[in-house]
């Protein structure tokens, strides 16, 4: 659905809050220390890791990617089934117990998409890329748009969010009864359709402006990596605010005999039609708009002055959609653990693209297949994972994280009990620039693995390149020397990909990482193997590097004596968000401004305990019984933030520290949502609930520390 890490254009892993760069309190460890491993385990672990990393080869992911992108393989298609069978065969050959899990879900396909400019001149727009279309490829469309035949004047609405409509009202422009044309970018397209609907528009056209990811950002494909004139960005427009997954089976798996509701009962189903255009097509509409000149910040990259409208441009939209329940196929493969086989380390990503999907998503698929190949060989060479490793390839992510959500809902109880970690791989490679996002308990772990794998272009640790990219201004005074106590800012994992069900619904800690670069082929026909070979990763060395990070992540979490989570950063994040909300409360005179004082004080108390616990786990060795108790606590903590009662108005989403809205993260969503909605009673309930969660965490952390002190003495 989205690119995880990109240095230009739209950063689709939006983060509403990020960790602050500062000191890594664990960086002073001796060279032979490995966080989470007792001294007696370190040598063996490092030996097996080194052997495994030596097995990683750029040639393998290149071959995987070429095989996967030979034909379109969107969800529910013949090509989609073939890609599932290919992945199953590969994973089985690597020594995994590999199976395909099928679900039946609502997937709309386009039958006919037409947009015609009727006034002040007549022109039928092309609607798709100017290439010899593969016979199995879907024409560009926005999934879940209703069918329509509408004609109306056009209004330009910038990026098409609520603040843009507020600006239009300020300018005296009314979009009621009009077709809105807006730019892609700066957020999830489904929320653009929601906001257009609320503003009174009867239809919407989305296009990619060349100022964002086209010729103004660099040379366009095939000369360069950016979006050419005819490239169309496809994508789903279902809102995903109430729940992701199959629209017809909310909260339960879409198995063959499942009870299904009507599409009209889905609160997230779009009510107005929407279709995408290339900027080559969009220019014909935008050029003839009159009315006020757009605000300076709204001017895009096409070679004329943009106007707001309405009219005299009048457009006819004729969309015919085929809504059907269709099969999708998840790949689930397991490498069974030898000591705690029920405990699951899950590495997953989606397999379905809109067309060929070389970057999104199958660079992630290629990385996971290489990871599985290497882990399988590591077992053959004598490595024994204590915990089980699951490699998952989800289907129908592009339609709204459907495959992962249905699987998560089917095995919710098992995952809540036994899933240790979920790592997401979605469009993992499009360039050389590293980025990562996670829940705060994984900040230290991500930094540690990036210190143990080198950037292939510089042969220096990825951590060093990552830190330099975040501290370019400081390097002038530091003379290119990285401080010993350096730490990087790890993004907070947002929405729009397959980690959502694991983190937001079940409470499994989640993270993701990848390598980004200039890219303008997102969700277009040109996201193909040729683009990757020319621009994204010509030598596939960053695919190999991502696989190395995945391999050591899996190996460490599978075999760690103490699971490598740290919680001081978590308490910091919560305290920061509480202070943000506290400052906003001053703008609500009807709300008690002291309502957060108690929970903030308790969070600071947890911070003290968490720091003490982190240091204790970092420095000590424990008996097996004590280690088991510690690991049970570490696994349980994330679950405590996910009570059975969901967030008001969004009950499927349960996590009280971070929940997504579109691609973005919302900090403390229960509390902040009630504040935004001006619901004082709900606000009090959410504060009390969160305070109770912190009370429980303080109590259990204190008891665990007492046990550790007793063991030490």
> Could you report the per-residue pLDDT of 285-336, keeping only the tens digit for each?
999 999 999 999 999 999 999 999 998 999 999 999 999 999 999 999 999 9
CB atoms within 10 A of CB 703: 12
Q: How many CA atoms lie within 13 A of 707 on its CB side?
A: 17
397 is catalytic: yes
- At residue 667, the pLDDT reads 87
Which listed residue (62, 397, 573, 691) is catalytic? 397
Domains, the chain, in order of start with CATH, read 39-105+338-559 (3.40.630.10), 107-325 (3.50.30.30), 568-712 (1.20.930)
DSSP string over 271-333: SS-EEEE-HHHHHHHHTT--SSBPPGGG--SSSS--B----S-EEEEEEEEEEEEEEEEEEEE
CA 238 from chain center: how many Å? 16
Q: Rounded mean pLDDT of the chain?
A: 92
> What is the average per-residue pLDDT within 339-350?
98
Q: pLDDT tens for residues 635-686?
A: 999 999 999 999 999 999 999 998 888 777 788 999 999 988 889 899 999 9
What is the pLDDT averaged over residues 516-543?
Answer: 98
What pLDDT, on the 0 to 100 scale, is given for residue 272? Answer: 98
CB contact set of 178 (below 8 Å; sequence gap of 6+): 152, 153, 154, 155, 200, 201, 202, 309, 310
241-245, 444-448, 462-466, 579-583: the lowest-pLDDT one: 579-583
The confidence score (pLDDT) of residue 185 equals 96
For residue 240, pLDDT over 60 is answered with yes
Q: What is the pLDDT of residues 364-396, one digit of tens each?
A: 999 999 999 999 999 999 999 999 999 999 999
**In angstroms, what CA-CA distances link 636 with 419, 641, 696?**
10, 9, 11
Q: Residue 713: what pLDDT? A: 59
Beta strand pairing status for 148-156 and 179-183? parallel
pLDDT by residue (tens digit) across 160-212?
Answer: 999 999 999 999 999 999 999 999 999 999 999 999 999 999 999 999 999 99
Closest by CA to 349, choosing from 325, 327, 332, is 332
pLDDT for the residue numbered 662? 77
What percent of the chain has a predicted confidence (pLDDT) above 70? 94
pLDDT given at position 265: 97
Is the distance from CB of 252 to CB of 406 less than 8 angstroms? no
CA dihedral 513, 516, 519, 521 (to 10 degrees): -30
DSSP state of 377: H
**Bridging pattern class, strands 203-207 and 274-277:** parallel
Is residue 29 scored above 60 in pLDDT? no
Nearest Cα to Cα of residue 580 among 133, 194, 106, 18: 18
Give every CB contact of residue 301 below 8 A, 6+ residues apart in sequence: 209, 210, 211, 212, 214, 215, 216, 279
Residue 479: the pLDDT is 59
Average pLDDT over residues 505-529: 98
Q: Each residue of 591-646: pLDDT tens digit?
A: 666 789 999 999 999 999 999 999 988 877 888 888 999 999 999 999 999 999 99
Cβ atoms within 10 A of the Cβ of 659, count? Answer: 26
What is the reported pLDDT for 280? 98
């Amino acid at each position: 659905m989205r690119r995880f890490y990109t240095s230009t254009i739209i950063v689709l892993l939006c983060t509403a809050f990020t960790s602050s760069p500062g000191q890594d309190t664990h960086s002073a460890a001796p060279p032979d220390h490995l966080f989470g491993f007792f001294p007696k385990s370190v040598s063996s672990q490092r030996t097996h890791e080194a052997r495994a990393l030596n097995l990683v080869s750029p040639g393998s992911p290149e071959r995987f990617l070429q095989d996967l992108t030979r034909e379109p393989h969107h969800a529910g298609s013949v090509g989609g089934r073939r890609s599932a069978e290919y992945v199953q065969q590969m994973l089985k050959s690597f020594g995994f117990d590999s199976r395909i899990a099928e679900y039946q879900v609502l997937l709309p396909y386009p039958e006919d998409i037409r947009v015609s400019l009727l006034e002040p001149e007549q022109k039928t727009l092309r609607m798709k890329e100017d290439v010899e279309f593969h016979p199995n490829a879907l024409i560009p469309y926005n999934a879940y748009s209703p069918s329509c035949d509408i004609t109306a004047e056009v209004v330009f609405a910038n990026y098409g969010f609520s603040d843009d409509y507020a600006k239009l009202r300020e300018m005296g422009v009314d979009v009621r009864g009009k077709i809105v044309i807006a730019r892609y970018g700066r957020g999830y397209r489904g929320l653009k359709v929601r906001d257009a609907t609320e503003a009174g528009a009867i239809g919407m056209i989305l296009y990619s402006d060349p100022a964002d990811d086209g010729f103004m950002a660099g040379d366009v494909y095939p000369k360069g990596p950016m979006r050419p004139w005819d490239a169309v960005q496809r994508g789903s427009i279902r809102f995903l605010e109430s729940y992701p997954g199959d629209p017809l089976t909310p909260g339960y798996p879409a198995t063959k005999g499942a009870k299904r509701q009507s599409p009209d009962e889905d609160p997230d189903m779009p009510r107005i039609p929407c279709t995408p255009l290339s900027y080559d097509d969009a220019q014909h509409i935008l050029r003839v708009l009159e009315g006020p000149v757009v605000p300076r910040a709204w001017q895009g990259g096409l070679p004329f002055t943009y106007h707001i409208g309405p009219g005299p441009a009048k457009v006819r939209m004729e969309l015919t959609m085929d809504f059907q329940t269709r099969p999708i196929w998840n790949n689930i493969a397991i490498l069974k653990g030898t000591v705690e086989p029920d405990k699951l380390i899950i590495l997953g990503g989606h397999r379905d693209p809109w067309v060929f999907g070389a970057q999104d998503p199958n660079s992630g698929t290629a990385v996971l297949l290489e990871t599985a190949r290497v882990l399988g060989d590591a077992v053959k060479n004598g490595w024994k994972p204590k915990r089980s490793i699951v490699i998952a390839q989800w289907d129908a992510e592009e339609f709204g994280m459907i495959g992962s959500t249905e699987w998560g809902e089917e095995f919710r109880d098992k995952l809540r009990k036994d899933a240790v970690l979920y790592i997401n791989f979605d469009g993992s490679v499009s360039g050389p620039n590293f980025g990562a996002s996670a829940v705060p308990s994984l900040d230290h772990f991500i930094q540690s693995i990036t210190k143990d794998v080198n950037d292939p272009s510089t042969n220096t640790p990825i951590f060093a390149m990552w830190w330099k990219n975040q501290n370019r201004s400081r390097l002038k005074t530091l003379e290119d020397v990285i401080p010993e106590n350096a730490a990087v800012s790890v993004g907070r994992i947002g929405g729009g990909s397959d980690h959502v069900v694991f983190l937001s619904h079940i409470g499994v800690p989640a993270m993701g990482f990848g390598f980004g670069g200039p890219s303008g082929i997102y969700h277009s026909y040109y996201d193909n193997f040729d683009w990757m070979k020319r621009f994204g990763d010509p030598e596939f060395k960053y695919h190999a590097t991502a696989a190395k990070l995945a391999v050591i992540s899996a190996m460490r979490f599978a075999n760690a004596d103490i699971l490598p989570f740290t919680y001081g950063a978590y308490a910091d994040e919560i305290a920061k968000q509480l202070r943000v909300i506290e400052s906003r409360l001053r703008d609500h005179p009807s709300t008690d401004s002291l309502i957060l004082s108690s929970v903030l004080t308790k969070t600071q108390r947890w911070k003290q305990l968490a720091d003490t616990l982190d240091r204790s786990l970092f420095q000590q060795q424990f008996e097996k019984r004590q280690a088991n108790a510690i690991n049970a606590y570490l696994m349980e903590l994330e679950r405590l933030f996910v009570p059975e009662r969901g967030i008001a108005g969004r009950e499927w989403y349960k996590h009280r520290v971070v929940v997504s809205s579109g691609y973005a993260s919302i900090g403390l969503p229960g509390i902040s949502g009630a504040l935004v909605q001006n619901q004082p009673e709900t606000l009090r309930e959410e504060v009390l609930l969160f305070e109770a969660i912190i009370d429980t965490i303080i109590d259990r952390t204190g008891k665990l520390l007492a046990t550790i002190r007793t063991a030490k003495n």
